[in-house]
Each structure stands twice: as structure tokens, then as C-alpha cells.
């Protein structure tokens, strides 16, 4: 009896497992290409720096950094974001070409 | 049920291996259908492992003593509750529990990713998870089968070790295992990221909840273990640097370091390689912890059953280590980041220092733990290092860690100016100094306890100051009341304040540990009925004695009146228990806990005419350890509550 129940359950699980393998093949979502990778990296760069600006704003509000340091860091981070946006634009133009 | 259990384990291993084959061929043939089949294979393995676990549970519940594992850890008189927990009381059941929980966690990962299309990364994640699961299932099928039968049918089982018949033992092992097993998920994502060269922060973001949740489970498991030792073992302490305690503590230290540097990677995009190292180390140490508990290589109070599993664990760890090093070396250039920590006066640098200390603590604890193995290999004699080694090496490191915990919230990211630091540190430093002076005035002169109290005050003050400043700044911006601003800050910045609550809890624990270790009072005596024993401000009067039966044990209980300044303030009952099938009687501790101190009583002996021997201790501020650890867990939970995603 135990073996019979086990065999039924195993058969059901086997069918459940292998069912997708009998469907028509489809490719995996391929790894992003070099261009896409670059775009993702720029996107991450922007996100990081935006978050960093939020952090230093909070740090200024809670008096953890001086106004001068805040201004210097904010300018630096803003420039980095601007660079990333510029690079993204260049990338888009390259793609169009 | 025995055959059903054995077959279910074999089926689980079969489905796991089948799934690995399907995932690999899905990758090789670039076919998403095969990957989907591979994932289903893992779900089938989960179902089969669940069936095997149900089979073992039912064997315990039906007193099937022809099964060697059931006969070893249960008996007819064992209460139902403990029959269930006997599942993980020994090595074989623990391994099945490991495999079962891991299979459930894999099911959760598949469920969480159900809406995401499969790319080239996900099959590798499942492959690593399946590889780990197959290792444990192989051990169950080939080496350590919980369904092994005896060639005779005993009339009764040997029963569960009386020390394990404690509510703490119901939750301690499984929760600790949840922690160990949970770290398999971030490890799998990290390995997949290295294989596919996904250098981004995705794997850290995706596994953040797993990281923190596993850390929380590990913390709760360690705390429950400490509490079990305190209320059950009867020696008056909660932590003895026992190898198995250390086995859970070492990955806790490394995972704590990882949680901190993962924040830096998320915020700054740096320390990618270091995070890969830390998560691999955490995983390996979790496996090492399981190995240490269940291999019997080191003697420990936890060594309830030991067989020759060591070789298999070593092979698994060696493969994982070499594989990890190879992948890291291969992908090093991709993960290497040009960014760096800009200033020593920044939060990043305090995180780095905290990493150094946490890893030094982990290394020292590991060295002390495996020293008997090393000494036996070198000299032929098994030499153990005791509590003094761990206390001498780890105490100063811990105090430095507490200092950093206080410094961290006051320093901004990237760069902090000296003038700001001076302004921010002034009040907490004065508070700490005052605390130190007050403590010294009350007669506390020993260096370490004095430092521990002072630094804890510093941590508490920095956190409170940070919170108040943030509330003020929010009030200024939004015009909200202080209470509302405080609550909103706590909720909206729950990662930050969750972390602060964890640190506050740590400071409370440090106070409790320092006070209960340095200022513990102990006394011992033999009393006849009506006689008294005094300790500190307390007098314990032996008032009455009774004997009764309960569940599977005979209990001898002495009632003690607790007096302070001549007034009877409470009553305690110390017990000595004789369990059915147990060779030795056990003592049941009586504890009277207040915020100020614990009165701790054990009754190691009963003589003629019900004369009793009592061992009594007063542990100052011990309850702070449990409160502090509770706060740490709450803070951790607050930090992982997900935020509602805004619809774009």
C-alpha cells in the first residue's frame, strides 16, 4: 500500500516536473549585451549618486557635515550625475547610428 | 511509513539531481522550457522532502521503536510536544530537517521570482541551491538515514535527553537552522553573479531580506540557546564558549560584518569583492557549524549523537571553498571597483573598522574552537582552551566594537568635518564620562566593566541624540509635532532606525553581560527544613518539601521563602527531577528575575530527612541581556519591513 501511494505521488511529481520540457523550446532571456551593460552601469551610477545626495542632505540636516563640505560634495555628486546623463545621451546616439 | 520515508528521501534526491540536469541542459541549449522544468524538479524535491519529514514525524507520534532513531530519542511516556521536537534531537533528524527547510526556502525563492522572466543568471542560483540540497539528501540516503531500523523491536525507547525537555529546546535548534540555511540563498545569488559577471548591486538587493532575516534567526537561535543554558543546565551562566555555541556565533559575527558592508555596496557601489568574500565565508561557516554540531569532532554538551559524517562535510566545504576562490579570481577584474573610501572621518570607514574587529573576533573564536583539533594533529594531544582565553582575547575587541557602534551614527557618509564631529560628540562623550564617574563612585573599579558601562552609555546617548536631531529637523521642515515626527521618521527611515534599535539593544546587552559577569554573587549550603541561607541582601528559608509525579517524571520540590530586610517578598521552588528512562536526575533551576538582579537557585542534592543542598547566585542586571537581545531582533525586523513600491 505504502509503495503504491508512493508510486502514484512520484508519477504525478514526475509528470509535473517534465511537462514544460515537452513544450516548444524558447530561448532564455539572454544576458544583456555590452551596450545594455553600459547603460545599466550608467543608470546605477545615477541612482547611487542621487542616493548619495539624499544621504548628505540628511547628514547636513542632522548636523553631521558642515555646510561647506555639503556644498562641495553635492557639487561633486551632481557633476557625476550630469556626466552619467551625458554618457547616456551619447550611448543613445551611438545606438541610433 | 518506514518504506515510504526511505523512498521519499530517495525521490527527493532523484528530483534534485534531475533538476540540476535540466537546469544545466537549459543553460547549454538556451532553452527556457528546460529551466522551467528544472525549477519544477526542485518543487517536486520539496514535496518529496516534506513527505519524508511527515513520515518521520508520524513514526515518532506512533512510537515506532523499530526505527533506531525513534528508539534513541523517544519513549512511550514522552509528552506529545517533545515527541515532535525529538525530530531534530539527533544527528539524523537534524539532517532531514536541514534538507526539508532548505527545500522549503528554495520553494520560496522560486515563488518570489515567479513574475520575473528567466535569464542566464537564475539557473545558476537554482543550481547552487540544488547542489547544496543534494549534498544533504545524499547524506540522508547513503550515510545517515533516519529511517534505519533495528533488528529487534524494543518494548520502549530510550527517551529524550532530559536536558532537551525544555521549551527553549523546542525553538532553539530549528530557529538556529533557519539562520544557517537562510544564508544559502544569498550565497547562491553571489555565486551566480560571479559566474555571469553581473557586477551590479542586484544580488545584494534581491537577497537583503534573506540576509537580515537569516541574521535575525541566527540571533534568536543564539539567544534561545543562551537562555536554555541558563534555565536548564544549572551552572548559573548563559554562555560558556562551548564549541557548539561558538559554531553559531562565528557565522553570526561574519554575517554581521557582511550586512554592514552590503550597505556600503548599495550606497556607494564599492567593496564588491569584499562582499563576495564575506557571504561565501558566512555560508561556509554555517556549514562548518552544522558539521561541528553533528560530526562529534569536538566534545561539547551539545554532542548528543555523533557518527562519521566529518569526511563528507569536509569534502563539501573544500569544493565550495576552491570553487568560490576560483570564481572570485576569474571575475576579480569585473568586480574590482575604482571608487574608494574618501575620508577616514566617514561612516564608510567606521564600517570598515567594524569589519576588521568583527572578523578578528570571528577568527579568535574559531581558533579557540578548533584548537583541540590543531593541537591533536600537531602534538597528538587534544588540548582545549577554556573560557579565560576567549574572555581575554574577545573582551577588548568587543569593547572596541561597542565604541564604533557609538561613533557610527554620528558620522556622515563620505566626509565628516572635525568641527561637526566635535559638536556631535560633545554631549554623548559628556554623558559617557558622567556615567563612568557615577559607576566609579558606586565602587566599580575594574577596568572592563567600567569601560563596558561607559561605552554603553555613549552608544545610548549617540543614538538618542541622533534621533532627537532628526526629529527637530523634520519638525522644522514639516511643522509636525515631535511625537508624529518621531514616529514618521521611525517608519519612513526604518532601515536606518531599525539599525539604531539593534545597536541600542546591543548596548543594553553589554550592560547586562558586564554586570552579571563581574558582580555575580554565589553561595552554597545544606539546609534542614526551617533553616536559612543568605546571599547579598537576600535570605532564603527552606520552608517545605514535596514529591509528585508529572508526565514522564517524578519531581522532588523544595519551597523556599525569599526574605529581604526581614520581610518575606517572594517564594521560589527548586526542583530535582527523575525522568523515566534517564540514568541521572536533573536539577530544575528556580529564578526570580527583576530589572535589578536575578536570584538563581539550584538544588544539586537531597539528603536524609529531606535535607537539601542549595547553590544560590545573584546575577545583577542579567535580564537586560534578554531585553537587549529582544530589542536587537525587533530592530532587525523593523529594518526589513518592505516599503510599498510607488507605481510609476
Give per-residue pLDDT as tens, B534-562.
999 999 999 999 999 887 788 999 999 99
Query: Choosing among A1, A10, A36, A68, which should be mutated to test the B contact, i.e. which has the most B CBs within 10 A?
Result: A10
* Whether ipTM exceeds 0.85: no
Partners of residue B485 in chain A, C-beta under 8 Å: none
How do B612-620 and B597-606 pair as beta strands? antiparallel
- What is the pLDDT of chain B when averaged over all its residues? 89
Higher pLDDT residue, B647 or B435?
A: B435
pLDDT for B233 beyond 90: no
In angstroms, rounded to a whole number, what is the distance separating the alpha carbons of residues B532 and A95? 90
Partners of residue A81 in chain B, C-beta under 8 Å: none
Taking only the tens place, the pLDDT of each residue in B586-635 is 888 999 999 999 999 999 989 888 899 999 999 999 999 999 999 999 99
Residues 50-69 of B with CB under 8 A from A: 51
Domain range annotation of chain B: 1-156, 521-624
Q: Please report, for chain B, how many H helices and E strands are present, in that order.
A: 19, 9
Provide mean pLDDT across the span B312-318: 91
pLDDT for B299 beyond 60: no
pLDDT for B143 beyond 50: yes
pLDDT for B236 beyond 50: yes
Domain range annotation of chain A: 2-96
Q: Cβ A68–B117 below 8 Å, yes or no? A: no
Query: Choosing among A2, A43, A64, A76, which should be mutated to test the B contact, i.e. which has the most B CBs within 10 A?
Result: A64
Q: Nearest CB to B415: which of A41, A45, A73?
A: A73
The C-alpha cell that represents B35 in the structure block: 529551466
The C-alpha cell that represents B565 in the structure block: 530586610
Q: Cβ B419–A31 below 8 Å, yes or no? A: no
Q: Are A3 and B3 in contact (CB under 8 A)?
A: yes
Q: What confidence tier does B295 reach under pLDDT thresholds 50, 70, 90?
A: low
Provide mean pLDDT across the span B98-115: 94
Q: What is the pLDDT of residue B592?
A: 95
Q: Is the pTM of this model over 0.90?
A: no
In angstroms, rounded to a whole number, what is the distance separating the alpha carbons of residues B30 and B26? 5
> Cell 573560557 sits at which residue?
B387
B123 interfaces chain A, CB cutoff of 8 Å = yes
Q: Please report, for chain A, how many H helices and E strands are present, in that order.
A: 3, 0
SS (H, E, C) B263-289: HHHHHHCCCHHHHHHHHHHHHHHHHHH
Q: What is the pLDDT of residue B88?
A: 87
- Contacts across the A-B interface (CB distance below 8 Å): 140
Query: Choosing among B14, B27, B39, B40, which should be mutated to test the A contact, i.e. which has the most A CBs within 10 A?
Result: B40
Q: Nearest CB to A61: which of B41, B51, B473?
A: B473
Q: What is the pLDDT of residue B603?
A: 92
Q: Nearest-CA residue of chain A relative to B196? A: A31
Q: Nearest CB to B48: which of A13, A40, A73?
A: A13
- Strand order of the β-sheet with B612-620 is B521-527, B612-620, B597-606, B590-593
Burial code (b: 16+ CB inside 10 Å, e: under 16) for B512-544 equals bbbbbbebbbeeebebeeeeebebeebbbbbbe
Q: What is the pLDDT of residue B301?
A: 46
Query: Choosing among B415, B463, B468, which should be mutated to test the A contact, i.e. which has the most A CBs within 10 A?
Result: B415
B356 interfaces chain A, CB cutoff of 8 Å = no
In angstroms, rounded to a whole number, what is the distance separating the alpha carbons of residues B377 and B297? 12
Residues 32-51 of A with CB under 8 A from B: 40-41, 44-45, 48, 51
Q: What is the pLDDT of residue A29?
A: 66
Q: Cβ A62–B411 below 8 Å, yes or no? A: no
Taking only the tens place, the pLDDT of each residue in B486-514 is 999 899 889 889 999 999 999 999 999 99
Amino acid at each position: 500500500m505504502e509503495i503504491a501511494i508512493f508510486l502514484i505521488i512520484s508519477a504525478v511529481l514526475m509528470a509535473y516536473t517534465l511537462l514544460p520540457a515537452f513544450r516548444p523550446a524558447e530561448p532564455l532571456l539572454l544576458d544583456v549585451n555590452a551596450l545594455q551593460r553600459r547603460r545599466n552601469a550608467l543608470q546605477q551610477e545615477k541612482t547611487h549618486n542621487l542616493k548619495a545626495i539624499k544621504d548628505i542632505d540628511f547628514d547636513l540636516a542632522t548636523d553631521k557635515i558642515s555646510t561647506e563640505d555639503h556644498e562641495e560634495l553635492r557639487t561633486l555628486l551632481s557633476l557625476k550625475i550630469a556626466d552619467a546623463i551625458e554618457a547616456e545621451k551619447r550611448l543613445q546616439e551611438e545606438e541610433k547610428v | 511509513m518506514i518504506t515510504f520515508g526511505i523512498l521519499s528521501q530517495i525521490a527527493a534526491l532523484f528530483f534534485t539531481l534531475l533538476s540540476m540536469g535540466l537546469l544545466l541542459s537549459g543553460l547549454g541549449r538556451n532553452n527556457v522550457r528546460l529551466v522551467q522544468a528544472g525549477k519544477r524538479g526542485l518543487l517536486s524535491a520539496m514535496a518529496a522532502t516534506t513527505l519524508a519529514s511527515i513520515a518521520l514525524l508520524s513514526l515518532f507520534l506512533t512510537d515506532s521503536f523499530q526505527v533506531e532513531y525513534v528508539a534513541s530519542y523517544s519513549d512511550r511516556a514522552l509528552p506529545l510536544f517533545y515527541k515532535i521536537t525529538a525530530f531534530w534531537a539527533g544527528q539524523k533528524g537534524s539532517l532531514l530537517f536541514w534538507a526539508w527547510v532548505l527545500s522549503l526556502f528554495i520553494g520560496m525563492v522560486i515563488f518570489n521570482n515567479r513574475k520575473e522572466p528567466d535569464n542566464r543568471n537564475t539557473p545558476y542560483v537554482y543550481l547552487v541551491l540544488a547542489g547544496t540540497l543534494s549534498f544533504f539528501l545524499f547524506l540522508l540516503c547513503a550515510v545517515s538515514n533516519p529511517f534505519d531500523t533495528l533488528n529487534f523491536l524494543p518494548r520502549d525507547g530510550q527517551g529524550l535527553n532530559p536536558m532537551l525537555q525544555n521549551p527553549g529546546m523546542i525553538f532553539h535548534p530549528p530557529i538556529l537552522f533557519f539562520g544557517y540555511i537562510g544564508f544559502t540563498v544569498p550565497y547562491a545569488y553571489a555565486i551566480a553573479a560571479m559566474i555571469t559577471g553581473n557586477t551590479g548591486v542586484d544580488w545584494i538587493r534581491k537577497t537583503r531580506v534573506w540576509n537580515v532575516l537569516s541574521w535575525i534567526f541566527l540571533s534568536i537561535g543564539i539567544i534561545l540557546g543562551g537562555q536554555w543554558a541558563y534555565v536548564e543546565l544549572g551552572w548559573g551562566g548563559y554562555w560558556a564558549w562551548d564549541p557548539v555555541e561558538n559554531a553559531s556565533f562565528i557565522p553570526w559575527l561574519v554575517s554581521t560584518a557582511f550586512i554592514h558592508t552590503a550597505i556600503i555596496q548599495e550606497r556607494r557601489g564599492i567593496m564588491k569583492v569584499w562582499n563576495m568574500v564575506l557571504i561565501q565565508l558566512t555560508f561556509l561557516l554555517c556549514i562548518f557549524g552544522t558539521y561541528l554540531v553533528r560530526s562529534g569532532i569536538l566534545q561539547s554538551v551539545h554532542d548528543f549523537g555523533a557518527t562519521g559524517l566529518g569526511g563528507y562535510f569536509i569534502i563539501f566545504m573544500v569544493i565550495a571553498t576552491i570553487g568560490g576562490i576560483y570564481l572570485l579570481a576569474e571575475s576579480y577584474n569585473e568586480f574590482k571597483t575604482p571608487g574608494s573610501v574618501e575620508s577616514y572621518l566617514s561612516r564608510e570607514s567606521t564600517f570598515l573598522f567594524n569589519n576588521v574587529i568583527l572578523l578578528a573576533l570571528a577568527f579568535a573564536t574559531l581558533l579557540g574552537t578548533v584548537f583541540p583539533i590543531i593541537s591533536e594533529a600537531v602534538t597528538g594531544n587534544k588540548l582545549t582552551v577554556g573560557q579565560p582565553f576567549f574572555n581575554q582575547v574577545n573582551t577588548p575587541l568587543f569593547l572596541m566594537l561597542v565604541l564604533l557602534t557609538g561613533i557610527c551614527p554620528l558620522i556622515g557618509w563620505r566626509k565628516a568635518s572635525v568641527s561637526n564631529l566635535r559638536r556631535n560628540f560633545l554631549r554623548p562623550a559628556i554623558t559617557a564620562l558622567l556615567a563612568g564617574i557615577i559607576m566609579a563612585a558606586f565602587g566599580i573599579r575594574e577596568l572592563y566593566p567600567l569601560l563596558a558601562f561607559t561605552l554603553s552609555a555613549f552608544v545610548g546617548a549617540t543614538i538618542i541624540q541622533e534621533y532627537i536631531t532628526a526629529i527637530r529637523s523634520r519638525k522644522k521642515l514639516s511643522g509636525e509635532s515631535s511625537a508624529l515626527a518621531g514616529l514618521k521618521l521611525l517608519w519612513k527611515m526604518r532601515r536606518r532606525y531599525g539599525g539604531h534599535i539593534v545597536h541600542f539593544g546591543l548596548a543594553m546587552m553589554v550592560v547586562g553581560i558586564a554586570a552579571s559577569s563581574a558582580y555575580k554573587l554565589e553561595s552554597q549550603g545544606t539546609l534542614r527544613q526551617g533553616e536559612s541561607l543568605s546571599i547579598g541582601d537576600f535570605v532564603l528559608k527552606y520552608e517545605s518539601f514535596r514529591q509528585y509525579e508529572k508526565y514522564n517524571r517524578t519531581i522532588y520540590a523544595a519551597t523556599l521563602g525569599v526574605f529581604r530586610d526581614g520581610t518575606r517578598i517572594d517564594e521560589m521552588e527548586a526542583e530535582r527531577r527523575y525522568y523515566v528512562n534517564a540514568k541521572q536526575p536533573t536539577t530544575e533551576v528556580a529564578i526570580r528575575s527583576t530589572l535589578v538582579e536575578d536570584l538563581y537557585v539550584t538544588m544539586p542534592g537531597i539528603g536524609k530527612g529531606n535535607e537539601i543542598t542549595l547553590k544560590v547566585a545573584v546575577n545583577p542586571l542579567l535580564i537586560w541581556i534578554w531585553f537587549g537581545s529582544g530589542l536587537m531582533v525587533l530592530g532587525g525586523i523593523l529594518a526589513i519591513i518592505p516599503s510599498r513600491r510607488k507605481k510609476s
